[in-house]
Structure 1
């Protein structure tokens, strides 16, 4: 009798087993995906969004000045130099067309980096933000601007002769 009972429920047993294994695999895949990309630092994305809105709709100066208002220890002379550098490049590379996140890195819960491909009509640029949280609030720690992102990409495709 036990044999007949098992035969009747055998397909149901396999279906339940398959569902359990499938759910377990899905959970492991979600954990791996979460571990691969660092979680966004709350507050940082707000600063970045505000920066790009001003960069697009107002001016480089407004975008840079506003984001550096989060850091009370900034040297205004360096800020002026950064604004001049970005503005001079913007005049050559054309109108701002949008942005794409290149990479996001987290050194700890207090130091994060976000790097963006900044799309312009003529040529791409890159803006990299580094944020630091010494106490409770995120502040801009470093801001880098360069137009060599395409050169780095081409360099990464070279054969180096190493296995």
Structure 2
């Protein structure tokens, strides 16, 4: 089964998060409590331009809300990586396991004067090939 990929990229300004990890933690806390709409609103709170694309935000909320029916309940939420591009950009990847299968969540933040601002959030289930490639690279190192 393939889950529809959802992403929201933004050019931004406005309120920012002082600590991107706190924003991701808050997202998953709300998401785990089945407060999907609040979780999405929370992760995009640092970006005032989200209000200009309400249809995309609504689509993400709808897709996340339907995950429960497609893949079951959440079992574990695990941070996989925190990849920094210099001191100004970060890409954070999580793997969330459900009853049926895992889903990858990715968050991107960039640094502004006041802290960090969300740039993108996405989720998908296309992790098979990525994991195989990483496993093969790790095997070659050994």
Same fold per superposition (TM over 0.5): yes
Max radius of gyration: which structure? 1
Residue in 1 that maps onto 2:86: 108
Q: Structure 1: 5+ residue runs without aligned partners? A: 1-41, 159-163
Q: 2:38 matched to 1:62? A: yes
Shift of 1:151: 4.2
Aligned residues: 119
> Which of 129, 140, 143 lines up with 2:118 in the alignment?
140
Q: 2:98 matched to 1:120? A: yes
Are the aligned partners of 1:124 and 1:150 in contact in 2 as well (CA < 8 Å)?
no
Asked which structure has the greater RCO (Cα within 8 Å, sep 6+), the reply is: 2
Q: Larger helix proportion, structure 1 or 2?
A: 1
Q: 2:24 matched to 1:48? A: yes
TM-score relative to the length of structure 1? 0.65
Q: Give the Cα–Cα distance (whole angstroms) in 2 for the partners of residues 145 and 110 of structure 1.
A: 23
Shift of 1:71: 0.7
Q: Larger strand proportion, structure 1 or 2?
A: 2
Mean Cα displacement is larger for which, 118-127 or 131-140?
131-140
Mean Cα displacement is larger for which, 82-91 or 59-68?
82-91
Shift of 1:142: 0.1
Q: Give the Cα–Cα distance (whole angstroms) in 2 for the partners of residues 51 and 90 of structure 1.
A: 16
Q: Which runs of 4+ in 1 moved over 6 A?
A: none
Q: Give the Cα–Cα distance (whole angstroms) in 2 for the partners of residues 45 and 100 of structure 1.
A: 13
Shift of 1:109: 1.7
Residue in 2 that maps onto 1:93: 71
The 1:149–1:136 alpha-carbon spacing in structure 2 relative to 1, beyond 3 Å, is same
TM-score relative to the length of structure 2? 0.74
Q: Structure 2: 5+ residue runs without aligned partners? A: 1-17, 137-142
